Structure 1
């Protein structure tokens, strides 16, 4: 039997995806459960009510989705915790019930049911959640997100409203990760995890002021990124070629990307790696040599491709393919 207040782990196999549940009335156990699921946080519950908390998790490839329900409290990722226990994650918090307030990077945003916002664990943040609340948290390894730190600092703690144009599309999609009963293939799960992150970033971008020069610059950058994606199989794609396509000077192009803490060459390289990874996961390429896939997207040297891929994803291309067959 479990002792009173102790965590009560459960597992449920729905659609072949493992769901883990922890319920507790012990603040110490709750603090450990939150740390083990996400990152180390200082947790301060409201003194006026008995404490209860539940966390339920499901995984979709490298995306961890969690339902978190509890009584009023504050979660604080202090600078001390971020430096002493570093873990670099991109996260989305979506309020399902109650109300929340997220603070990061000099901004504070309020969230009501259906609203969501982006935050990152490498920098301090604070969540205030009340009264009886339900938060859905979606977590990606930061290295899987092709977004510079400078740009991410401009997107955090911005409320995406449930009734906004993008919120009406994306909020149900996020909820569906935890409520959908069916499983998907390992390759499909990886692609979905990537696409959901991209959609969330797009939603945060939409919250910017259209009249803001940064927003106009970002819109132009997004247009250029679409051009890069459309020509990613061109081994000769260069910043000079891109600048010529948009009738701007190479210097203007480089300044545009530098504005968001990026370089054009690095961006092309990252998107080539993403294209290779997606091609490796496609069933129609199951028997295609890695050399052919790499060369298709601009990597003439397999050794160079292998080093770049491992630096980006933590494993060699051959091992990655083996793990996701």
Structure 2
């Protein structure tokens, strides 16, 4: 484990799963960590103190962090925490709720109870923690606020998210100790207010489905090569029911299965006209994008584009 310090900023890195788990425990709380692929894991944490607030930038590979019941019961540290996802997508689960956080949005969680963060892709997470003692929020109140995503684009998010982000940048302003303590407490209150503030029309089924529709589109585009891509996989990743998924697409007179097929066909068409795929057999191109049956792929391709995959490739090679 490598540790460097400059002023009130500390940078720590780990090059193994064991070291990474120890770094996370030392900097935050004890968590069970599961890499999404392989067993090796590298990661880095850059943190600074502002009174009782720790503001940290966390970067590593795709993985899942779990605070288990025994770990929470041990109460090694009792923290109010805010997780902000600058890049990638994070899924937070706590107190019976699940939410997806992305694009500079954030969510509140509490280390005194079990929680799960699942992080995919190239992610960049900012974590803000305060000791639970002394904060003006009761356990009952906090349980109603956890795992509720606050989008950066929301009214309250547009005010609070930039302030949180500013605390983790390299040239964050230095404050006197009294002002640092005062500001840390006020930021905690703002985060609690943000998590408790409902967005206008948040209960609207149409608005909620539109947001989900966009999330599914992005997820499908990022996972076209996954043979398991379908309603069950997507619902699990986005923490919604398959019924909710189908309803979101029905509002646009679409079906999820047809949407996935369309995006895969478009990806295959791009590959068939790309020089980098010219030597790849057509059935392998199809299989790469989720079409296990070559005959089915040829029929669907011809129905969609008016020509066979072979004729399409040949026509584009001659240009």
C-alpha distance 50-80 of structure 1, shift in aligned 2 (>3 A): closer
* Secondary structure, counterpart of 1:155 in structure 2: coil
Secondary structure, counterpart of 2:81 in structure 1? strand
Corresponding residue for residue 70 of structure 1: 60
1:194 matched residue in structure 2:
185
Tell me the equivalent position of 1:12: 6
SS of 2:179's equivalent in the other structure is helix
- Contact residue 88 and residue 124 of structure 2 kept, 8 A: yes
Match status 1:184 vs 2:175: yes
Moved more, 78-87 or 30-39: 78-87
**Matches of 1:70 and 1:190 in 2, distance apart?**
30
Change (3 A) 1:172 1:101: same
The corresponding residue for 1:46 is 36
The alpha-carbon distance between structure 1 residues 88 and 210, as it changes in their structure 2 partners (threshold 3 A), is: farther
Matches within 5 A, 1:1-325: 7-13=1-7, 18-48=8-38, 51-179=41-169, 180-207=171-198
What is the DSSP-based 3-state SS (H/G/I as helix, E as strand, rest coil) of the residue aligned with 1:67? strand
Distance 1:35 1:65 in 2: 15
Match of 1:196, SS state, is: helix
Q: Residue 49 of structure 1: CA displacement?
A: 8.3
Structure 2: how far apart are the matches of 1:182 and 1:165?
Answer: 25
Deviations 1:269-320 (A, max 9, x none): xxxxxxxxxxxxxxxxxxxxxxxxxxxxxxxxxxxxxxxxxxxxxxxxxxxx
Contact 1:114 1:161 in 2 (8 A): yes
Deviation at 1:132, TM superposition (A): 1.7
Give the C-alpha shift of residue 207 in structure 1.
2.9
Give the distance between the partners of 2:25 and 2:38, measured in 1 at CA.
24
Shift in CA distance, 84/49, structure 1 to aligned 2, threshold 3 Å:
closer
Q: Name which one, 1 or 2, has greater alpha-carbon Rg.
A: 2
Q: TM-score, normalised by structure 2?
A: 0.61
Structure 2 distance, partners of 1:115, 1:36, is: 26
Cα distance between partner residues in 1 of 2:173 and 2:150: 27
Kindly provide the CA deviation profile for residues 8-30 of structure 1, in whole angstroms up to 9, marking residues without a partner as x: 111123xxxx1111122211000
Distance 1:142 1:207 in 2: 24
Deviations 1:58-92 (A, max 9, x none): 00010011100011000000101111344211000
- Taking a change above 3 Å as real, the CA distance of residues 209 and 80 of structure 1, as seen in their structure-2 partners, is farther
| Post-superposition CA distance 1:109-136 (Å, at most 9, x none) | 0011201000000000000011121110
Distance 1:165 1:211, change over 3 A: closer
Give the C-alpha shift of residue 189 in structure 1: 0.4
User: Partner of 2:150: helix, strand, or coil?
Assistant: coil
Structure 1 residue runs without a partner (length 5+) = 1-6, 213-325
The DSSP-based 3-state class of the residue aligned with 1:54 is strand
Deviation at 1:157, TM superposition (A): 0.4
Residues 62 and 140, structure 1, Cα contact 8 Å, conserved in 2: yes
**Residue 16 of structure 2 contacts residue 42 of structure 2 at CA under 8 Å; is this kept in 1?**
yes
Contact 1:158/1:207 (<8 A) preserved: no
Contact 2:154 2:199 in 1 (8 A): no
Native 8 Å contact 1:95 1:135 kept in 2: yes
Q: Where does the alignment leave 5 or more consecutive residues of structure 2 unmatched? A: 204-319
